[in-house]
Amino acid sequence: MQNLSGAGLRTRVLRMCASVITWATSLGAYQASCPAPVGNPAGNYLVPGSLGDVPYRAGVTLDAYAPAGESRPAAVLVHGSQGDKSTHMTQLFEVLDRAGFAWFSINYRNLDDIRAAVAYIRCPGRFNIGSRLVFIAEDTGAPLAVRIAQEVQAGGVVTFGARFDGEVSAPHVPVVMFHGTADEASPPGPVEKRCRSWPQCQFFPVLAAIHEFEDWHPDQWDWKEELAAWLRADQRGLWKDITYARPGGRDLRMDAFIPAGDGPFPAVVIAHGGGWEAGDKATYISPVLAPLARAGYAWFSIDYRLTPYVRNADQLDDLREAIRYVRSHAARFHVDPNRIAILGESASGQMVAQVASEKCTGCEVQAVVSFYGVYDFTRWASAAENRPMLDRIFGKWDAEILRKYSPLFHIRSDMPPLLLIQGTKDELHAGTIAYADRLKQGGARYELVQLDGAPHGMENWVGHAEWEFYKQRMVDWLNATLRK
């Protein structure tokens, strides 16, 4: 070690201090080069929390959405030959937010403007974004996005109705193309051929869709879930608002939890109760979500259509579609399509038991969990006060209809195994005991767990330590049934 005199030590310390001051001054100047963005605090009048009309270069502006909290990956939106930053790309705003992305929709005049926009957006500290950046472009914006994505080493490019009027070098970034099969402005054949010649390009034909993707119909909107999945990549944990079906053009959504690890994981499709007329994917069933997640299960909690706007047959179809969606996207969600359970409670206890009792192509399940379900509607018909409810659930009904939708009358020995969980102080207790007896008589596999003194509704069991055991019993049963 060097032996320094007092004067030498003072000199060394002074030099170190000078270096620190110089570094701090340089850092301050660097940070000062990225001042906070200035724009319309009212946003773009489309998305709360956005910042509108942010000047990023003389004569051009962008709209920005980069909310507080954990930093997000970012998407730069490049419109085509028509419109501007607030027109043709607006359908993307919600999709990007659901996928956990910040976004920047830009006005531009040329490629240099797009370069300037990227530099402005990426300036450290200006926006709450991470390092991942992708481009989403439509029409003539596509070749510009492909070119700039390579220059700035972006994470990929997504195009809609891409129009290439000249040669574009094959990019070395992932590209996803959504293209209408009825696109006359940019016929799909040459675009698909170009995509297939590129090393990392996926082409998604949108059946009967025209050039302008803002004019695509709800039955052509599967692109939204494909895009959200591509953006999320291999993200684990909670995925919100996944559209699994669009009956009559209305989105039916599910929330999903994807465990960490290699998988494939067993999965549970969850339907809430609510008397067939109330509730949603976050209502009533919340107590089972954490136990399933902690036990390494992927779960999918669904919305379905409610009475009186639809009938029970439609609700059963919604549940079947949710199962089919999970099965058909098993690789995306890292689940095993041959290890799927369905779980319902109260009204949806009837639904899961009914679906399990019928042959179902593409929606086969391997286990059923039903909490305090309704298994026999014929018992309700004799009481006058029940008839308005039956009218709401079934429309016109008779004894045959009630039997048709009562799981008690459709037991098969080859049904998937059932776990019945029931409180003894629930008015549905007797119906569950009768169903269990019929399952036994029919040779079906089942287990009955009773909670002594528990009322209707698992949300009413919270805070009662004497009933909490049902969670572990549920997990243990699922493990024994699905993880053999």
% of the chain surpassing 70 pLDDT: 93
The torsion region of residue 240 among left (phi > 0), alpha (psi -120 to 50) and beta comes to beta
pLDDT by residue (tens digit) across 412-433? 999 999 999 999 999 999 999 9
Helix (H) or strand (E) holding 8: helix 6-32
Q: How far apart are CA 50 and CA 40, in angstroms?
A: 9
Q: Which residues, including other chains, have CB under 8 Å from residue 475's CB and lie 6 or more apart?
A: 291, 292, 295
Closest CA to 305 of 282, 271, 255, 332: 271
Q: Which residue has the tokens 């009533």?
A: 284
Tokens of 217: 């119909």
Residues of the chain with CATH 3.40.50.1820: 51-229, 235-482
Q: Is the dihedral of CA 293, 299, 303, 307 positive or negative?
A: negative
Task: Answer whether the bond into residue 308 is a cis peptide, omega within 30°.
Answer: yes
Q: What is the pLDDT of residues 440-471, one digit of tens each?
A: 999 999 999 999 999 999 999 999 999 999 99
Instruction: State how far the alpha carbon of 286 is from the alpha carbons of 139, 291, 300, 443, in Å.
Output: 44, 10, 12, 32
Q: Determine how many CB atoms are found less than 10 A away from the CB of residue 414.
A: 8
What is the distance between the alpha carbons of residues 6 and 28, in angstroms, rounded to a whole number? 33
Give the whole-angstrom CA distance, residue 219 versus residue 104.
28
Percent of the residues in the chain that have a pLDDT greater than 90, as a whole number: 89
Each residue's pLDDT tens digit, 224-255? 999 999 999 889 999 999 999 999 999 999 99
> What pLDDT, on the 0 to 100 scale, is given for residue 383?
87
Q: Look up residue 48 and give its two tokens.
A: 């709360």
The CA radius of gyration of the chain, in Å to the nearest whole number, is 29
List of residues 6+ apart from 483 with CB closer than 8 A: 266, 339
Residues of the chain falling short of pLDDT 70: 1-32, 484
Question: How far from chain centre, in Å, is Cα 161?
Answer: 25
Write the CATH number of the domain with boundaries 235-482: 3.40.50.1820
- 125 by Cβ neighbours in 10 Å (0-12 / 13-18 / 19+) ranks as exposed
* Phi, psi torsion values for 412, nearest 5 degrees: -130, 150
pLDDT at 484: 63
**Cα 74 to the center of its chain, rounded Å:** 18
Superfamily classification of domain 51-229: Alpha/Beta hydrolase fold, catalytic domain (3.40.50.1820)
pLDDT digits (tens, 9 = 90+) for 358-390: 999 999 999 999 999 999 999 998 888 999 999
